[in-house]
Amino acid sequence: MTADASAITARGLTKRYGATIAVDGLDLDVPEGVVYGFLGPNGAGKTTTMRILTGLIEPTSGDGFVDGVHCTDRASLVEHIGLLPEEPPLYRELTGREQLHFAADLRDIPWNAVEERALDVAESLGLRADLDRRIDSYSKGMKQKTAFIQAVAHDPAVVFLDEPTAGLDPRAAKALRELIVDLAASETTVFLSTHILPVVEEIADRVGVLYDGRLVSEGSPDGLAAGSADGDGDLEDAFLELTGDPASAWQ
């Protein structure tokens, strides 16, 4: 099977853990240069899908391509993607700047090739003045900012973000949302998983709703909202109807 022109493609993507099916025959096409909101209640398979597409785990069956690279080809894939997982991989004994150097080294990218972009993003997030402090002195929000910077500094074709605004104050969260929109405007594809539905409504071009490992609906935020029972709801109303989950699933 070969990849198509989409930034992200999945065909029959499945992941089983014994008798448990975490991702169930997922078909997905995400165009280039969009913010794609990937929604679902806890346990729906969102994180597993992201881990498959970023090469961290292999699918049981099916195929996934990111920027034309098969998701099982981790060595090639790493050059095309950026990843901010829910638990960012940071070394507490390093300074923020040393962490960013280390992330560049892992990709065999000279620091001077990413320095300007990294520092610009740090400035936008209000972190530049703290880059020479050790990460073990950082707040949760500062760690989140550092992880976001290392995910985008090398200008990847596709960025995967899992709860990117977690721990951020309102000002920093707003700045990060603006950076995500800027990424898409520069033809970077952003695959965004979050429980904060107003963020998705504000910045996503398309939304996919995952439930029990299956994609149960897809469309624009406004389109999904318009499809709610009364036709006059919002994205949260549509989500609850699609999944049959109580609002507590988003807590």
Query: Nearest Cα to 81, choosing from 191, 184, 230?
Result: 191
Longest dimension (CA), the chain: 55
CA distance 59 to 25: 10
Question: 56 is in which domain, residue-wise?
Answer: 8-245
Contacts of residue 220, Cβ cutoff 8 Å, sequence gap at least 6: 205, 206, 207
Greater pLDDT, 240 or 37? 37
Residue 251 falls within a domain, yes or no? no
Domain total of the chain: 1
Residue 156 falls within a domain, yes or no? yes
∠ CA(78), CA(81), CA(185), 5° rounding? 160
End-to-end CA, the chain: 39
Helix (H/G/I), strand (E/B), else coil: 49: helix
Tens-place pLDDT, residues 164-210: 999 899 999 999 999 999 999 999 999 999 988 999 999 999 999 99
Tens-place pLDDT, residues 95-118: 999 999 999 999 999 999 999 999
CA distance 139 to 66: 33
User: What per-residue confidence (pLDDT) applies to 235?
Assistant: 86
* CATH number for 102: 3.40.50.300
Residue 3 falls within a domain, yes or no? no
CA distance 34 to 30: 8
What separation in angstroms does the CA of 189 have from each of 62, 146, 236, 239?
22, 20, 24, 23
Q: Is the dihedral of CA 245, 191, 22, 222 positive or negative?
A: positive
Query: Nearest Cα to 243, choosing from 216, 219, 218?
Result: 216
Tens-place pLDDT, residues 21-53: 999 999 999 999 999 999 999 999 999 999 999
For the chain, the C-alpha Rg in angstroms (whole number) is 18
Residue 2 falls within a domain, yes or no? no
User: What per-residue confidence (pLDDT) applies to 232?
Assistant: 62
In the predicted model, what is the mean pLDDT of the chain?
91
Query: Nearest Cα to 159, choosing from 171, 149, 173, 169?
Result: 149
Structure-block tokens of residue 55: 């090469």
- What is the helix (H) or strand (E) element at residue 65, kind and residue range? strand 61-66
Residue 241 falls within a domain, yes or no? yes
Q: How sure is the predictor about 248, in pLDDT bands with cuts at 50, 70 and 90?
A: very low
Contact indicator for 141, 165 with CB cutoff of 8 Å = no
Residue 98 falls within a domain, yes or no? yes
